């Protein structure tokens, strides 16, 4: 599970800073999470093959989170994409995209499916064989959802150190599949529970734009990585509340309450030239905190 | 009259190359012509104050000509713009922009007016005191218009060399205003037609996306500067025709037929790494040709 940051900015455009867009890699699947203006150029810059993106998740319909989507879809089409694409997002997104395609008289070369998120309640919006996407309500100025992405548990890990050196590969495979193994030669039972270890699912939670909301942590207890917006630092807490955004300290509070393993903060207001005080403010409450940095890849 | 290039690319995104967007400066007025994705970042880069833009002209609804418009409008709003904004473009543009504003629950801080272009016939779409915008049909895959922008004639130029050294400033002003002057002291008539010279209007024509169309030159005879797309060079003439685009040589033919003073070509396909052969190809037919270059300002 890898999380790559393509944009750390917020709504006000800033030269050299890009609006929200993130790529989550789950084995062979690439999920694009939010898609601000210029995201397709960020994909080019970081050499992320757009055809590998099969799912796009949009948190809400403020421009810094989706104005790059139509351009990306049109570029997929220009390049004769054939892989189906699923876009998950709020009401209105499909209407807007389809209107733009209609007036461009574009007939897509690939199947485009929209799945609607529910801004009022939790929902399992996508269940795939290796991961699931669960959406939960965020409190912002317009309908907005966060996402919990769970990489489902991989096969059990075989504890090779406990096995004899000449242990047959076919037995090894059976253990990995979760079976007990009887070694006729050695006349010994290898109980799966003793010779393998369960690998837990990995989880990633994404809170794009939200006021501080103590209800949030219940949606992602013990999450492996939490991305939470931190548009402002503490001295602007009133402005954060007024605009339905959060401070770095508030993001840290949410991470702490959720017992997250790690926190990444981003979506910084253009009023700040550096973000070191965001880090300090968050780390005083929750560790480890990381600052989102464009181009960086965070391993979960 | 100044013409500034913000984007020289065409539909396929290319790192470091931007889609169509141009700024025409007419005295204090800034007209933005087309507005591809990322145009607001180009305005920041070239330090063009967005509030000075009062008119935006959109040629057609292919994304590389307008996907940056909604982001620019939203940024105007974020920055509490109060100056009215007029957007001139084809059917569908208003519907798309208003749908995006609706779902963002944006109430604009400024007056936004849409003027509809007619893709089937010529039209005076805007008549201001110092300039006019005339639209004409372009032949592209979807409804598309070109624009002729005329800076109306400035006051007559007084031929100071022909006047006596002690010629009174008040008489000078009268001549500039177009009047004949009687100098009582010298007992002499200064006929306006003999002591002033008319300054012609200045014209700029914009042909964004079009197949080679011999009907075009009649819309902008003797134009001072013609921008004409040149997506391909001559060896791809069939592809140009198939996609309703032009080659550099065809753009030059149009400039020649129109008896243009100067030609700028742009909208280059991403398949080309350099454009020197575009220049050579065009100059063989029409001179002077200039290659559009991002950031450059062309004085008309």
pLDDT tens, position by position, B264-294: 999 999 999 999 999 999 999 999 999 999 9
Rounded mean pLDDT, B31-38:
98
Q: CB count, 10 Å around CB of A264? A: 27
Flag if A92 and B78 touch (Cβ within 8 Å): no
Q: For residues A235 and A248, give the distance between their C-alpha atoms in angstroms, rounded to a whole number.
A: 10
Token reading at A36: 């601000």
Smallest Cβ–Cβ distance between A104 and the set B13, B61, B79 belongs to B61
Token digits for A151? 């990489």
Asked whether the beta carbons of B209 and B250 are under 8 A apart, the reply is no
Q: What is the mean pLDDT of residues B37-65?
A: 97
Which residue in the set B15, B44, B100 is minimally distant from A13, CB to CB?
A: B44
List the single best residue of B7, B10, B11, B13 to mutate versus A (max A Cβ within 10 A): B13
Q: What is the average per-residue pLDDT within A100-122?
A: 97
Query: Predicted confidence band at A155 (pLDDT cuts at 50, 70, 90)?
Result: confident
The two three-digit tokens of residue A3, written as one number? 């999380």
Average per-residue pLDDT in chain A? 96
Around B35, how many Cα atoms within 13 Å sit in the side-chain half-sphere?
24
Least confident of A114-128, A133-147, B185-199: B185-199
Distance (Å) from the alpha carbon of A21 to chain B's nearest alpha carbon: 15
The average pLDDT across A113-122 equals 97
List the one residue out of A136, A122, A121 whose CA is nearest residue A254: A136
pLDDT in tens, B123-146: 999 999 999 999 999 999 999 999
Inter-chain contact B74–A11, Cβ cutoff 8 Å? yes
Inter-chain touch B104–A12, beta carbons under 8 Å: no
3-state secondary structure of B194: helix
Q: What is the pLDDT of residue B199?
A: 83
How much is the average pLDDT of B16-45? Answer: 96
Please state the separation of Cα B145 from the chain's center in Å: 12
Task: Say what the pLDDT of residue B31 is.
Answer: 98
Query: What pLDDT is recorded for position B249?
Result: 98
B271-275 LR contacts (CB < 8 Å, sep 24+): B272/B233
CA of B145, closest CA in chain A: separation in Å? 14
Q: Which residue in the block uniquely carries the two structure tokens 């005879």?
A: B221
Taking contacts as CB-CB distances below 8 angstroms, the residues of chain B near A91 are 103
Determine the average pLDDT of the residues in B218-227: 98
> What SS3 state is found at B100?
helix
pLDDT of residue B4 exceeding 90, the answer is yes
> pLDDT class for B2, splitting at 50, 70, 90?
very high
Per DSSP, B199 falls in state: P
**What is the per-residue pLDDT for A218?**
98
Percent of chain B with pLDDT over 70: 100
Residue A277: is its pLDDT beyond 90?
A: yes
CA distance A207 to A263: 11
Q: What average pLDDT does the segment A17-33 reach?
A: 96
**Where are the extended beta strands (E) located within chain A?**
2-7, 21-26, 29-35, 53-57, 85-89, 112-116, 123-127, 131-138, 144-151, 157-158, 181-183, 188-190, 196-197, 202-207, 225-229, 262-266, 289-291, 297-299
Residue B230 above 90 pLDDT? yes
- Residues of A within 8 A of B90 (CB-CB) are 103
Distance of residue A296 Cα from the nearest chain B Cα, in angstroms: 19
Residues of A designated catalytic: 64
Q: Is the pLDDT of residue A220 over 90?
A: yes
Confidence of residue B78 (pLDDT cuts 50, 70, 90): very high
Checking if the pLDDT of B28 tops 90, the result is no
When pLDDT is averaged across residues B26-31 and rounded to a whole number, the result is 92
Nearest to A223 by CA among A256, A253, A261: A261
Backbone phi and psi for residue B137, each to the nearest 5 degrees, phi listed first: -70, 135
Tell me whether residues B96 and A100 touch, CB distance under 8 A.
yes
Q: Residue B97 contacts by C-beta under 8 Å, 6 or more apart in sequence?
A: B69, B70, B73, B87, B112, B114
| Residue tagged 């398949």 (tokens) | B271
**Poorest-confidence range of A140-144, A154-158, B220-224, B296-300?**
A154-158
In this structure, are residues B291 and B275 in contact, taking their beta carbons and an 8 Å threshold?
A: yes
The SS3 call for residue A283 is: helix
Catalytic residue numbers of B? 64
pTM of the model: 0.91
Tokens read off for B89: 């473009």
pLDDT, residue A177, reads: 86
């Amino acid at each position: 599970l890898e999380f790559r940051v393509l944009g750390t900015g917020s709504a006000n455009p800033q030269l050299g800073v890009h609006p929200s867009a993130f790529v989550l890699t789950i084995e062979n699947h690439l999920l694009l999470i939010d898609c601000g203006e210029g995201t397709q150029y960020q994909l080019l810059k970081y050499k992320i093959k757009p055809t590998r993106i099969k799912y796009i998740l949009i948190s809400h319909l403020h421009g810094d989170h989706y104005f790059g989507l139509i351009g990306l879809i049109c570029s997929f089409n220009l390049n004769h994409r054939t892989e189906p694409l699923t876009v998950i997002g709020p009401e209105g997104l499909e209407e807007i995209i389809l209107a733009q395609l209609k007036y461009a008289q574009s007939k897509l070369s690939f199947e485009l499916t929209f799945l609607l998120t529910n801004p009022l309640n939790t929902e399992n919006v996508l269940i795939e064989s290796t991961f699931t996407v669960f959406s939960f309500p965020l409190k912002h100025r317009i309908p907005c959802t966060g996402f919990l992405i769970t990489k489902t548990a991989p096969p059990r890990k075989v504890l090779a150190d406990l096995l004899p050196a000449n242990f047959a590969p076919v037995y090894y495979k059976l253990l990995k599949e979760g079976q007990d193994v009887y070694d006729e030669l050695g006349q010994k039972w290898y109980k799966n529970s003793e010779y393998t270890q369960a690998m837990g699912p990995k989880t990633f939670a994404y809170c794009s734009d939200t006021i501080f909301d103590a209800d949030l942590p219940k949606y992602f207890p013990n999450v492996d990585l939490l991305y939470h917006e931190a548009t402002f630092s503490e001295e602007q807490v009133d402005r954060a509340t007024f605009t339905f955004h959060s401070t770095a300290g508030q993001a840290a509070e949410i991470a702490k309450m959720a017992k997250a393993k790690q926190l990444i903060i981003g979506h910084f207001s253009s009023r700040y030239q550096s973000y070191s005080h965001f880090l300090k403010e968050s780390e005083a409450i929750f560790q480890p905190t990381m600052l989102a940095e464009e181009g960086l890849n965070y391993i979960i």
